[in-house]
C-alpha cells in the first residue's frame, strides 16, 4: 500500500457518515416545560448540532413544532388548521436555532417548505445540497409543506432528497425499548432492529410512512438521547449508543440498568 493511503475499514467497523439528517422534537426547545422557548433547550440543541458538525459530518436538521402548538392537539381545531399552525411553529423554531448556532460561530441556513421570503428561502433539494456542501448547517422548516403528514415523514423524505447517509432521531430516551421504560421498569433497550421488526412490533420509533420510506430506500436510522450532552457527535465518531434500525438486526435487546 502506498504511503499516505487510507487503510480500508475492517469488516463491521464504524464508518463515519458524511451527511446526516437530525430529527429534533420541538418540545426539546421548550426545555423542562416542553413549551415555548427556553434558553437551556436552545443551548442544548445548538451545542448538539455544532458538535455533530465538528465531528466531520454535514448536518441537516428537521425540527418539529410541538413546543408551540400543544393546544392544537386538544381537538378543538380541524386537523388541517392544526397542521398549518404546526408548520408555522417549525419556522419559528428554525429561526431561533439559526440564531443560537450563529452565536456559536456555526454557519446555518433556513429553508422553508412554504414561501416566506422575508424569513427564509424556499426549499429545493439542489439548493439544500449546495448549502450542505458549503459547510452550513441546514435547518428545514415547514415539514413537507403538506397537512396530514408528520415531521417524521418529512425528515425521512428530506434525508433521501438531500442524499444523507444516516437519519438520527434525537429524543429524550436512549434508544428504542420493548415497552415504555417510564411505565415498565423491566423494559429492554434494543441495540439494533430491522425495519421489519419495528413495523411488526409496532415500536414507537417513527410513524409508519417514515419507517417505510427508510426501509424501501435502505436509509439507516438511529434513535438516541439528545438530552445527554455530546451524544450525537459521540455516535457519529464511534457508532456507539442508541438503537440502530436498518436492514438487519445485529444484537439482542439489553435489559435496562
Task: Report the pLDDT averaged over residues 209-233.
Answer: 95
Tallying the residues shown for the chain, one arrives at 257
DSSP string covering 154-193: HHHHHHHHTT-SEEEEEESSSSEESS-TTT-TT-EEESEE
Domain limits, the chain: 19-255
Looking up cell 487510507 gives: 6
Q: What percent of the chain has pLDDT over 90?
A: 65
Which pLDDT value is given to residue 4?
A: 43
User: Distance between CA 191 and CA 249 in Å, rounded?
Assistant: 8
49 and 106 in contact (C-beta within 8 Å)? Answer: yes
The half-sphere exposure of 209 on its side-chain side, counting CA atoms within 13 A, is 11
Q: Is the pLDDT of residue 257 over 50?
A: no
Output the CA–CA distances (angstroms, integers) from residue 46 to 55, 149, 209, in the order listed: 14, 26, 28
Q: Is the pLDDT of residue 118 over 70?
A: yes
Which pLDDT value is given to residue 12?
A: 54
* Domain covering 19-255, topology: Carbamate kinase (3.40.1160)
Q: Is 65 annotated as a binding residue?
A: yes
Instruction: Return the exposure string of 99-116: e unless at least 16 CB atoms fall within 10 Å of the residue's CB, then b.
Output: ebbeeeebebbbbbbbeb
Q: Is 25 annotated as a binding residue?
A: yes
Q: Counting Cβ atoms within 10 Å, is residue 120 exposed (0-12), middle (13-18) or buried (19+)? A: buried
Q: Is 48 annotated as a binding residue?
A: no
- pLDDT tens profile 40-95: 999 999 999 999 999 999 999 999 988 887 655 556 788 888 889 999 999 999 99
Q: Is the pLDDT of residue 241 over 80?
A: yes
Q: Is 26 annotated as a binding residue?
A: yes
Task: Report the pLDDT averaged over residues 107-134.
Answer: 98
DSSP string covering 209-222: HHHHHHHHHT--EE
Which pLDDT value is given to residue 243?
A: 95
Q: For residue 203, what are the β-bridge partners?
A: none
Q: Is 146 annotated as a binding residue?
A: yes
Q: Is the pLDDT of residue 99 over 50?
A: yes
User: Distance between CA 197 and CA 193 in Å, rounded?
Assistant: 6
Q: Is 83 annotated as a binding residue?
A: yes
Q: For residue 225, how many other CB atoms are within 10 A of its CB?
A: 15
Q: What percent of the chain has pLDDT over 70?
A: 88
Q: Is 178 annotated as a binding residue?
A: no
Q: Is 180 annotated as a binding residue?
A: yes
pTM of the model: 0.88
Amino acid at each position: 500500500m502506498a504511503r499516505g493511503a487510507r487503510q480500508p475499514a475492517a469488516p463491521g467497523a464504524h464508518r463515519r457518515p458524511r451527511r446526516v439528517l437530525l430529527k429534533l422534537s420541538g418540545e426539546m426547545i421548550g426545555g423542562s416545560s416542553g413549551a415555548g422557548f427556553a434558553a437551556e433547550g436552545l443551548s442544548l440543541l445548538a451545542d448538539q448540532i455544532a458538535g455533530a458538525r465538528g465531528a466531520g459530518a454535514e448536518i441537516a436538521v428537521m425540527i418539529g413544532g410541538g413546543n408551540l402548538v400543544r393546544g392544537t392537539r386538544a381537538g378543538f381545531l380541524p386537523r388541517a388548521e392544526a397542521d398549518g399552525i404546526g408548520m408555522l411553529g417549525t419556522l419559528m423554531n428554525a429561526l431561533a436555532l439559526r440564531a443560537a448556532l450563529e452565536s456559536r460561530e456555526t454557519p446555518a441556513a433556513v429553508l422553508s417548505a412554504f414561501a416566506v421570503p422575508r424569513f427564509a428561502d424556499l426549499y429545493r433539494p439542489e439548493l439544500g445540497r449546495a448549502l450542505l456542501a458549503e459547510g452550513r448547517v441546514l435547518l428545514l422548516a415547514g415539514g413537507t409543506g403538506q397537512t396530514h403528514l408528520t415531521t417524521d415523514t418529512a425528515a425521512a423524505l428530506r434525508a433521501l432528497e438531500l442524499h444523507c447517509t444516516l437519519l438520527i432521531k434525537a429524543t429524550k430516551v436512549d434508544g428504542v425499548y420493548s415497552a415504555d421504560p417510564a411505565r415498565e421498569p423491566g423494559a429492554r433497550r434494543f441495540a439494533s432492529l430491522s425495519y421489519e421488526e419495528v413495523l411488526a412490533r409496532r415500536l414507537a420509533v417513527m410513524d409508519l410512512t417514515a419507517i417505510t420510506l427508510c426501509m424501501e430506500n435502505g436509509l439507516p436510522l438511529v434513535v438516541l438521547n439528545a438530552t445527554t450532552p455530546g451524544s450525537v457527535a459521540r455516535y457519529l465518531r464511534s457508532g456507539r449508543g442508541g438503537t440502530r434500525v436498518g436492514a438487519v438486526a445485529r444484537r439482542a435487546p439489553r435489559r435496562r440498568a
